[in-house]
Structure 1
Amino acid sequence: MGLGRHKLIVLVLGLSITVLLYLLLPSGQPEEGDRKAEVPRSDPQSNMNITVRTATLTGDWPTFYREAIPRNALEGAERFSVLLLHGQIFSSKTWEDLGTLNILAEHGYRAVAIDLPGYGESLRAQPMSTEKGRTDYLLQVMESLGTRQPVLISPSMSGLFSLPLLLQHPDRLRGFVPIAPVGTKSFKPEQYKQIQVPSLIVYGTLDTNLGSQSLESLQLLPNHTLSPLEGGGHACYLDRPEEFHAALLMFLSKLS
């Protein structure tokens, strides 16, 4: 009887110690707020953790954005930021679905894609009606995001935002990647010739409209590289994503 009572006491004591250790050890689970703000993802090939976030910038123009951040960026060692705009029938989700955000983050860049005013999930923001308004808007977004001299990727319609910024505030950009942007004819050849920002001019060889038209003006940029995507249409990055990503990463590596 005494021996049985002794075994019972030992068993209860062992269970108590186990429960106590379980409660004291960290669970490894994120806080509730962290789960809502970001979703960590890992690339199976590089084993680099990538944090993906979505949020809305407050201010005069509420702007929805998506970003992918590599682990080293969270530790304060990121290369630089890449800011992605979009065409008229697209949004920031286009770059997520294409894999561009994750690919950039896998290579050490902070990648941020925004929904321009009146598009995607930025519907509460009124569309910009003036060149100055569009320029001020991008400057505010860059300031709010904390992007120091980003590389700006600008397809099609978003040229109405990016070109005035490039030509009026070239010091605010580390690099420029126009993809058949709208509005190139609104500026004089002399304006392009004065810009020293490294530029990667991307266009689809089948885009005989905006692709060839914008190329005529963009080639006046002194520090440019051409990247024709064979067989690509107007949205050539969708038609030839592998070639587009390869050209983009090569360009970015030269800016590091």
Structure 2
Amino acid sequence: MNSQRQRRVYSALTISFLLFGLVLSAIDWRNQDYLAQDIPQNVLDTVEGAIISESSVKVKGIDVFYRVAEPGKVVDPTGLTLFLLHGAAFTSSTWQNQIDTTQTMSTLGHRVIAVDLPGSGNTASGSIGKREEFLAELIGALSPGQPVVLVSPSYSGSFSLPLLLSNPELLSGYVPVAPGSAFSYKGRLSNVRVPTLIVVGENDGRGSSVILKEIPTSSDLQIIPNAGHPAYLDDPERWHKLLHNFMGLVQSKY
């Protein structure tokens, strides 16, 4: 995307984000029940039929590998895009092969994109400059003109947290799972207005997650019982239910 077009897209996104924020501020994100609605059985019965394609896009001179699943036919498209980052020990494959988040969420009507960050999976390492700028360009390339709900576990917090401050208009929602680098942002998140679902495993440290409660539009801690650092792997059913309810709230006010 050339710089002039990128500026136009970001300007349009900024206006949309401001209007979006006025509506979202009316929701009491802290006190929602994010387990209220079950995933419909007809969705669960057809998850295995989800179609996932693979491709790559050049960002900062690096060919970034990604997987994408378009909305399925069981549920009407929601218009939302779920954008999946990963932890240091994982890749985009995790969301498809270790846990069927890509399939489940696309069957629920969302567009789902999972990427391999530089130096992981099928994406080569390279010089990318500031991580938030890299992530902003990546989101702009894969979801032009459409803010995303960004899932960011562990290591990927070093990409997503600075993006919250630099380009919040690119996000319609944020789902941090014990994100790295959070302590560096203590006292800096009170002006963020991106709806945020904070997920943490019961057996993992909660320090970084507690800091995220500075975000006025954040949930309370959503603790997955008996789960460790990659909490989503220990209880995929609860993880998908949390995502389903959160994205339903975002969709209702989008």
What percent of counterpart residues are identical? 34
CA distance in 1, matches of 2:152, 2:46: 28
The equivalent residue for 1:245 is 240
Consecutive aligned runs of 4 or more in structure 1 exceeding 6 Å deviation = none
TM superposition shift of 1:165: 0.3
Instruction: Give me the whole-angstrom Cα distance separating, in 2, the residues matched to 1:161 and 1:47.
Output: 30
Consecutive unaligned residues in structure 1, runs of 5 or more: 1-42
Aligned partners of 1:201, 1:233: CA distance in 2, in Å? 15
CA RMSD, aligned part only?
2.3
The number of aligned residues is 205
Structure 2 partner of 1:29: none
State the structure with bigger RCO (CA 8 A, min sep 6), 1 or 2: 2
1:218–1:162: structure 2 CA closer, same or farther, 3 Å change rule?
Answer: same
Determine the structure 2 residue equivalent to 1:174: 172
Residue in 2 that maps onto 1:30: none
**Residues 22-41 of structure 1: pairs in structure 2 closer than 5 A:** none
In structure 1, how many angstroms separate the alpha carbons of the residues matched to 2:48 and 2:207? 41
Give the Cα separation in 2 of the matches to 1:47 and 1:167. Answer: 35
Do residues 83 (structure 1) and 83 (structure 2) align?
Answer: yes
- Partner Cα separation in structure 1 for residue 232 and residue 243 of structure 2: 10
**2:151·2:176 contact (CA, 8 Å) conserved in 1?**
yes
2:137 to 137, 140, 143: 140
Partner of 2:117 in structure 1? 116
TM-score of the pair, normalised by structure 2:
0.75
Q: 1:44 to 1:202 in 2, by over 3 A?
A: closer
Equivalent residue for 2:211?
217
Separation of aligned partners in 1, 2:167 and 2:228? 30
TM-score norm. by structure 1 comes to 0.74
Structure 1 CA distance for aligned equivalents of residues 233 and 47 of structure 2: 27
Conserved 8 A contact 1:118-1:127: no
Q: Which one has the largest radius of gyration?
A: 1
Query: Does residue 58 of structure 2 align to residue 58 of structure 1?
Result: yes
Most deviating of 176-185 and 219-228: 219-228
Give the secondary-structure state (helix, strand or coil) at the position aligned to 1:174. Answer: strand
> For residue 23 of structure 2, what is the aligned residue in structure 1?
none
2:223 maps to 1:228:
yes
**Within 2, Cα distance between the matches of 1:126 and 1:143?**
20
* More off after superposition, 158-167 vs 77-86: 77-86
Runs of 5+ consecutive residues of structure 2 not aligned to the other structure: 1-42
Structure 1 partner of 2:20: none
Structure 1 residue 92 and structure 2 residue 86: aligned?
Answer: no
Tell me the alpha carbon deviations over residues 148-180 of structure 1, each in whole angstroms, 9 at most, x when there is no partner: 100000000000000000122112100000000
| Conserved 8 A contact 2:195-2:217 | yes
Counterpart for residue 107 of structure 2: 106
Whether the 8 Å CA contact 2:82–2:111 is kept in 1: the answer is yes
Measure, in 1, the Cα distance between the counterparts of 2:229 and 2:249: 26
Which amino acid in the other structure matches residue 243 of structure 1? R
**SS in structure 2 opposite 1:248?**
helix
Q: Secondary structure at the match of 1:193?
A: coil
Against the structure 1 CA distance between its residues 68 and 47, is the aligned structure 2 distance closer, same or farther, given a 3 Å change threshold? closer
1:54/1:67 contact within 8 Å kept: yes
Equivalent residue for 1:164, pick from 162, 165, 173: 162
The code of the aligned residue for 1:113 comes to A
